[in-house]
Structure 1
């Protein structure tokens, strides 16, 4: 069977790194994208499998377009939009440049990758899957309003792309609660305690848990899911 390539953004650490490792373990080939060259080099050393690393600034449309020109002849199958930032600030404390920074990475980055990935697969009329990493904050709000807004936008993008890219691509979102990564250091203690108090399962979600969900959504077992959001939140938010 011809190898299938999965693109993962924010691949150098945390959730993205676990997704790359899990994809490789399931015999996918991976295009790992991150802005941190050193993190990508370490990832390549740690991962035993077919992996290419590309330094990409996801908020730069030209960077993303250039990447897809380089990989256009590969048998692309999956895209995992994962790159994101969380500043952990109250809206009143945000500077204008910080608002742009979060929106450019958390929203525009997803838009650029979805656009160029969608263009290639629609042109070839081949099947594929997009998985967008959102957050429970996109549904119930966040102490960081800009972050919450950006993750809510990802849910809207997921539904719209599911319609736009049908019938060739399935597009779904994963909305985790707090995940035990370095990003969690920016979450206020009162917010962490609030999340744990509301969880029906009193344990943190791990990057491996997110990766397991992503791999399911890439698999043939998820063939009837599109435009959906998968709540990975230990029951802290029920809908």
Structure 2
């Protein structure tokens, strides 16, 4: 494989379903080994089986919102997969609530997973590569809601924070690690089915392209950003929204 940095391994969080699963599949098709992380052990097992139990797929169960678990994971990566050079911060949750309905513990849960998890992974991944001046790439999964707002304000906040994290890490890790974000519109996954019907209609009515965005489409963009073909991009956000919101 020539497209990903030095043919190394890629870490994908939230890898067992939806967009994460599509990213894992695309990386494997490109002959790139993947370390798939998810909180659901049974879903990781199903992922492995659905990919034909491929030798290039490694699975690791952890809660990305727990700093100690992420630290332990990167000890494993350093020892067992020192050639890792790609990270996709994909894991996230969407509670589909109005901000007035949120309880304090729910706010903490969304921000811990959607923001802190990406921060923890970015920190330890950066330490693995930056100090030894190794080249690599981070891709953060944001959302159109980061740029246009969301009916779930806490989710929108968390996705906007990822764009800020992307830009800042691009500066911090220059020139060795490229850091970019992908901000998809509504994607046909179980999580996105929770969006209110009126909001879905609004999104679709604004789109200039009438082809639905699928998890595989997002994965195409992510794999491009991991690859040498994107070697001149860092600190950028890629709007995957069918032209629905022009900037």
TM over 0.5: yes
Residue number in structure 2 paired with 1:44: 48
Moved over 3 A (4+): none
Distance 1:218 1:24 in 2: 13
Between 207-216 and 38-47, report the one with greater CA deviation: 38-47
SS at match of 1:27: coil
Distance 1:86 1:119 in 2: 29
Cα distance, 1:123 vs. partner? 1.8
1:198 aligns with 2:202: no
Residue number in structure 2 paired with 1:95: 103
Residue number in structure 1 paired with 2:66: 60
Distance 1:205 1:61 in 2: 33
Contact 1:179 1:204 in 2 (8 A): yes
Flag structure 1 segments of 5+ consecutive residues without an equivalent: none
The one of 130, 135, 148 aligned to 1:122: 130
Cα distance, 1:3 vs. partner? 4.7
Residue number in structure 2 paired with 1:234: 242
Contact 1:29 1:51 in 2 (8 A): yes
Residue number in structure 1 paired with 2:148: 140
Cα distance, 1:203 vs. partner? 2.8
Equivalent residue runs for 1:106-121 within 5 Å? 106-121=114-129
CA RMSD after TM alignment: 1.0
- TM (norm. structure 1) is 0.98
How many residue pairs match? The answer is: 239
- TM (norm. structure 2) is 0.95
SS at match of 1:23: helix
Residue number in structure 1 paired with 2:75: 69
Residue number in structure 2 paired with 1:15: 19
